[in-house]
Structure 1
Amino acid sequence: MSSNFENEFNTLVAKTAELITGDTSPEMIEKIKVWAFYNHVHKALPALASHWNQSHPESKAEMRRIFEEIRALNQAKQAEKPEKE
C-alpha cells in the first residue's frame, strides 16, 4: 500500500471515530477499526463470527465491551444534538 493511501485511509477512520463517538484519540481509532471489522465479519460471515466467539470467550467479552463503549459514546453524542424544529 502506498503511504498516501494509508494516510488518506487513516483520515477516513479518524473522521468515522469523530462522527460516531466524538473521540479521535489513537486508542479510539483502534477501537473503531476493530468495531468496523468485527461488525462486517458478523454480518457477512456469521458462522465465522460464531465460531470465533465460541473459541475465544475472553476476547468475545472484550469485543462486547468495545461495542457497548462505542454505542454509549454514540448515544451521548446523539443526545447533545439540538432537536430539529
Structure 2
Amino acid sequence: METNKLVPELDGLIYKFTELLTGEATDENIEMVKIWCMYSHMLKVMPPLVKHWTSIEEHQDAKRKVREIFEQIQRQNEENKKQIRAHQATLNQSK
C-alpha cells in the first residue's frame, strides 16, 4: 500500500477511534488520543525505555502532561459510556 494513501486512511481510523473512545472527535481530542496510543504502546513494548525517560528531570513536565492526558481521556471515556448506557436504557424502555 502506498504511504500517501495509508495516512488518510489511518486518519479516518483515528478519527473514528477518538469519537468512540471520548464521544467527540475534536482536533484536540484526536491529538490527545494519538499521544495516549503512542505512549501506551511504548509503555507496553519497551517499559525500560519509558521508565528511563520519565526518570530524567527535564522530562518531568512532559510526564505530568501525559498523565493529565491519560486522566482526561479516561474521564471522557467514562462520561461517554454513561451517555451510551443511558441512551440504551431509554431505547429498551420504549420497546
**TM-score (norm: length of structure 1):** 0.91
Question: Deviation digits for residues 26-53 of structure 1, max 9, x if unmatched?
Answer: 1111111110000001111111111111
Residue 2 of structure 1: CA displacement?
2.7
Q: Give the partner amino acid of 2:67.
A: R
C-alpha separation in 1, matches of 2:7 and 2:36: 19
C-alpha separation in 2, matches of 1:36 and 1:69: 14
Between Structure 1 and Structure 2, how many residues are aligned?
Answer: 85
Residue 25 of structure 1: CA displacement?
1.1
Q: Give the partner amino acid of 2:83.
A: E
Q: Give the partner amino acid of 2:4.
A: S
**TM-score (norm: length of structure 2):** 0.82
User: Computing the radius of gyration over CA atoms, which structure comes out larger, 1 or 2?
Assistant: 2
Equivalent residues in 2 for 1:25-64 (5 A)? 25-55=26-56, 56-64=59-67
Gaps of 5+ in 2: none
